[in-house]
Amino acid sequence: MGELDAWRATGRRALRVARLGRQGGPLRQPPRYALTISLRDVVMLTVLAAVVLGGTSAYQVVKRDQPETYREIEDHFKYGSIGSEAGLGIPYWLWLVLPQIFPQYLPDAGQKDAPGEGYARLGFVYEAGHARPIGTSIRETLVPMQGLNCAMCHVGTVQQTTGAPPQIILGMPAHQFNFEGYLRFLFASVKDDNFSPDVLIPAIQQANPRFSWLDAQLYRYVVIPRTRAGLLKSSKDFSWIDDRPPMGPGRVDTFARYKQDFGLPVKNDVGTVDLPALWNQRIRRHMWLHWDGNNNSVDERNISAALGSGATDTSLDRPALQRVADWISDLQPPAFPEEKINMSLVQEGRLIYQAQCLECHSVQGRQIGQVVPIAEIGTDPERLNAFTTALAEKMNTFGTGQPWKFSHFRKTNGYTNMPLDGIWLRGPFLHNGSVPTLRDLLTPPDQRPAVFYTGYSVYNYKDVGFVTSGPDAERNGHRFDTRVRGNGNGGHTYGTNLSPQEREALLEYLKTQ
């Protein structure tokens, strides 16, 4: 096989490996900090290679830009491209070998019983028969690029008991995914002396024995140096994560990168929030969205999330994103296991819900999707304060020249009421994930746990939330301290005056939502 054919084959091999075991064949991401080499850079930096290879066919190799798409929408949601490779993409073969070269920078390095291997240690979810985790995509270019997609933040796992196989649930918050840990892993790896062609290329060749001589030269002289430069720049761009408490799994600061991109102050903010669920988006149209109700356009919310995943205003794959948006409009959460519901208490709980919760949390309630002032709700104000009037104004300039230009962002004075569909899978609770279970949320704030452990997938069916205490949770989870800035667990005192019997009944009813 000639070098031109080998070069073409590299991209095809990446896709074949990525698609291994997939059901349904292929049909054919604001801030725009490129973590590595951008797609445009790939093309510009390989013009010479095109000349060497010669002619129109070589130009087509260099120009190639084919997103990974899937016939089945569930597979497309899990593995398909939405255009994020342009901003937060990493050359696929390089990304693939980083954990084996730099395992010391993964969480719990050195612990014999550390959960998972490689990227699974960061909460990436793998399916049997797939080489890549859910939430990652590939775009076939001269250098195949790996990116993130919607499923990275919106696919979670549940285990009935320790050691039981995890159930993968689409649309639920990725409570186990440690985005900050992922960034720290990449930034630590790139600063290591072993982030060099002499170490990386042999590892890639071992993972992909057909990695050609020409591939190796491209990686040695273009891809690895440019990736290293991009990651080093991004480590400075994301330096704000060192000025605040750890986010931990299942949480992210959605707007910090936007603020930095717009030249607004970031250092003193703690805008960390829980990842949300994606179910039933149709009923959320025209509700005030995001935790502080700063936008009432589902479409703008979807696009801003895609931009946060790495898409740029020009790389955003709107048709691919629209497929996901159409699907999640009516995506239903799984039901709470019926055998674990005390049905004799459900009717009593329904009456309590109608009296104390319906107004704010039922789709028929007058306050659903509306903002409750911070003085009334009383929850931690840091996220509210982090989204400023200046940022709202700047957000409404984003996408200028694009048909989807933002126009619905605003500054609010509190947090918004949300529907409770699939509430059993949305813990820890409150906007910052500071309350472990629904039982804890129905107790006075001074009785809620001050320290617990997040990111552990074993479920607590009695208290309605994940297991957050005990040896297994401590070994597998992240320590969450509600006494540090942005992690406050106060406020939302609704239902805390219920009697023990009433509390039990309400919990049993909430399991049915």
Q: Sign (positive/negative) of CA torsion 78, 80, 83, 87? A: positive
Q: For the chain, give the mean pLDDT.
A: 87
Q: Which residues lie below 8 Å from residue 168, measured CB to CB, with a gap of 6+? A: 125, 127, 134, 155, 156, 157
Q: Which domain holds residue 219?
A: 3-237
CA-CA distance, 362 to 442, in Å (whole number)? 18
SS (H, E, C) 403-422: CCCCCCCCCCCEEECCCCCC
Residue 332: predicted pLDDT: 97
Nearest Cα neighbor of 77 from 272, 397, 329, 246 is: 329
Q: Which helix (H) or strand (E) holds 156?
A: strand 155-158
Report if residue 20 sits inside a domain.
Answer: yes
Report if residue 143 sits inside a domain.
Answer: yes
Tell me whether strands 371-373 and 451-454 are parallel, antiparallel or unpaired.
Answer: unpaired
Report if residue 17 sits inside a domain.
Answer: yes
Q: Which helix (H) or strand (E) holds 320?
A: helix 318-328
Residue 41 has pLDDT above 80, yes or no: no
Report if residue 158 sits inside a domain.
Answer: yes
Nearest Cα neighbor of 482 from 512, 462, 452, 441 is: 452
Q: Which residues lie below 8 Å from residue 403, measured CB to CB, with a gap of 6+? A: none
Task: Summarize pLDDT for 55-112 with one digit per residue, the tens.
Answer: 444 444 445 678 888 999 999 999 999 988 877 789 999 999 999 999 999 987 544 4
Q: What is the mean pLDDT of residues 293-320?
A: 90
Residue 115: predicted pLDDT: 63
* Per-residue tokens: 116: 């998972």
CA distances for 202 relative to 93, 195, 219, angstroms: 11, 12, 11
Report if residue 62 sits inside a domain.
Answer: yes
- Give the percent of the chain with pLDDT over 70: 86
More confidently predicted of 46 and 241: 241
Report if residue 187 sits inside a domain.
Answer: yes
pTM of the model: 0.88
Q: If phi over 0 gives left and psi between -120 and 50 gives alpha, with beta otherwise, what is residue 430?
A: left
Task: Summarize pLDDT for 328-352 with one digit per residue, the tens.
Answer: 999 999 999 999 999 999 999 999 9
For 338, phi and psi rounded to 5 degrees? -60, -35
Report if residue 116 sits inside a domain.
Answer: yes
Residue 118: predicted pLDDT: 93
Burial pattern 52-91, b for ≥16 Cβ within 10 A else e, equals: ebeeeebeebbebebbbbbeebebbbbbbbbbbbbbbbbb
Report if residue 257 sits inside a domain.
Answer: no
- Identity of residue 474: E
Residue 285 has pLDDT above 50, yes or no: yes
* Per-residue tokens: 274: 């829980």
Structural domain count, the chain:
1
